[in-house]
């Protein structure tokens, strides 16, 4: 059940309309790192989680994210309020309106959405459920949540840096700070699970859990605790990086007699002829700059 309070979670004061800034703010309204994506991510996790403590936390944070969505949406609406009134009431010429919004997609906001916040990102791409990466395994979802809050914090930092409006900076700082708080909650929830690594139930194959394959070699090779030390067995030899299971490294599938016959017919029908140099359309139409082509008999 939801009960709405008409007071915002945080007081917002906007110094002046700025449709270009409103366009950027859409990133946290309908973008992949935005508040709606976060709310839906945590709601879906809460619905499927059987642990009462985590379920309660996820519902709390999901509901708070909706309050954050309301703050961002209010900022967008206020930043668009001046141009919205001008366009709606026909108080200025079209050229003046285009000049006002020439460096952004805010004209799209005005014409299609009437200046209100749309469920799109700053490039006008519609919000979609692909932003919600819930997989239904707490050890994976909590790690994803921590990363999502970190990404959202970075976006808020960048938005803070592109405005000089003190009221907007203040509100964005609050939202950014809440991302930090949520990361802490998710970290505590993750590490309150005794066996929290690796995610899932099945153990890794012990032949490979401590192996580091040095696949990118050459100038710039570096060592650190992520690829060296007593924890790791480093495999740098190129020959040892293939067929690591001890097999021949070749793919194989068992087919029935009927399937084998059909496959043989397919291979024969689609076989290439390496002994033939066919004349192609590129050869027939070759002109200056075509490079070397197969001679065409005239």
- In tens, the pLDDT along 168-200 reads 999 999 999 999 999 999 999 999 999 999 999
- Mark 208-219 as b/e (b = at least 16 C-beta within 10 Å): eeeebeeeeeee
pLDDT in tens, 136-151: 999 999 999 999 999 9
Please check whether residue 34 is in contact with residue 28, taking contact to mean a CB–CB distance below 8 angstroms: yes
Residues whose CB falls within 8 Å of the CB of residue 266, separated by 6 or more in sequence, listed in order: none
pLDDT at residue 82, as a whole number: 65
Domains, the chain, ordered by start = 19-191 (1.20.1260.10)
Please check whether residue 40 is in contact with residue 132, taking contact to mean a CB–CB distance below 8 angstroms: yes
Q: What percent of the chain has pLDDT over 90?
A: 82
Least confident range of 95-104, 147-156, 229-238, 257-266: 95-104
The answer on pLDDT for 102 being more than 90 is: no
Q: Is 141 buried (19+), middle (13-18) or exposed (0-12) by CB count in 10 A?
A: buried
Nearest CA among 139, 146, 177, 176 for reference residue 158: 176
Binding-site residues, in ranges, read 35, 56, 60, 65, 68, 149, 182, 216, 218
pLDDT at residue 13, as a whole number: 97
pLDDT at residue 167, as a whole number: 98
The answer on pLDDT for 298 being more than 90 is: no
Mean pLDDT in residue range 226-238: 97
Rg of the chain, C-alpha, whole Å: 29
Nearest CA among 135, 121, 118 for reference residue 34: 121
Binding-site residues for Ca(2+), in ranges, read 56, 60, 216, 218
SS3 sequence of 139-156: HHHHHHHHHHHHHHHHHH
What is the pLDDT confidence band of residue 238, given thresholds at 50, 70 and 90? very high
- Using left for φ > 0, alpha for ψ between -120 and 50, and beta otherwise, residue 256 falls in beta
Nearest CA among 55, 196, 68, 46 for reference residue 134: 46
DSSP state of 211: E
Token readout for 81 is 């309020």
The answer on pLDDT for 274 being more than 80 is: yes
**Mean pLDDT, the chain, whole residue set:** 91
pLDDT at residue 296, as a whole number: 84
Token readout for 206 is 């012990």
Residues whose CB falls within 8 Å of the CB of residue 6, separated by 6 or more in sequence, listed in order: none
Nearest CA among 46, 36, 209, 31 for reference residue 142: 46
The answer on pLDDT for 123 being more than 70 is: yes
Kindly report the backbone phi and psi dihedral angles of residue 4, in degrees, each rounded to the nearest multiple of 5, phi listed first. -95, 135
- Mark 263-291 as b/e (b = at least 16 C-beta within 10 Å): eeeeeeeeeeeeeeeeeeeeeeebeeeee
Nearest CA among 72, 63, 49 for reference residue 2: 63
Token readout for 228 is 């060296």
Binding-site residues for Mn(2+), in ranges, read 35, 65, 68, 149, 182
Mean pLDDT in residue range 34-41: 98
């Amino acid at each position: 059940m939801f009960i709405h309070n008409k007071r915002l979670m945080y007081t917002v004061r906007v110094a002046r309309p700025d449709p270009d800034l409103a366009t950027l703010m859409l990133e946290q309204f309908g973008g992949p790192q935005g508040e709606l994506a976060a709310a839906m991510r945590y709601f879906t996790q809460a619905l499927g989680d059987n642990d009462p403590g985590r379920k309660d936390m996820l519902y709390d944070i999901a509901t708070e994210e909706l309050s954050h969505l309301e703050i961002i949406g209010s900022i967008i609406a206020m930043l668009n309020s001046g141009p919205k009134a001008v366009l709606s009431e026909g108080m200025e010429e079209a050229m003046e309106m285009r000049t006002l919004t020439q460096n952004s997609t805010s004209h799209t906001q005005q014409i299609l959405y009437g200046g209100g916040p749309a469920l799109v990102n700053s490039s006008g791409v519609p919000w979609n459920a692909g932003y919600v990466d819930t997989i239904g395994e707490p050890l994976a979802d909590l790690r994803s949540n921590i990363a999502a809050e970190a990404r959202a914090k970075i976006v808020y930092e960048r938005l803070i840096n592109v405005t000089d409006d003190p009221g907007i900076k203040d509100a964005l700082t609050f939202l950014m700070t809440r991302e930090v708080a949520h990361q802490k909650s998710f970290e505590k929830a993750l590490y309150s699970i005794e066996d929290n690594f690796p995610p899932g139930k099945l153990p890794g194959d012990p032949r490979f859990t401590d192996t580091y394959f040095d696949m990118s070699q050459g100038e710039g090779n570096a060592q650190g605790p992520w690829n060296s030390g007593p924890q790791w067995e480093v495999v740098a030899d190129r020959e040892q990086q293939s067929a690591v299971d001890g097999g021949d490294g070749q793919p194989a599938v068992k087919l029935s007699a009927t399937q084998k016959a059909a496959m043989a017919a397919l291979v024969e029908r689609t076989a290439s002829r390496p002994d033939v140099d066919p004349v192609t359309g590129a050869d027939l139409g070759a002109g200056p700059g075509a490079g070397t082509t197969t001679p065409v008999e005239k």
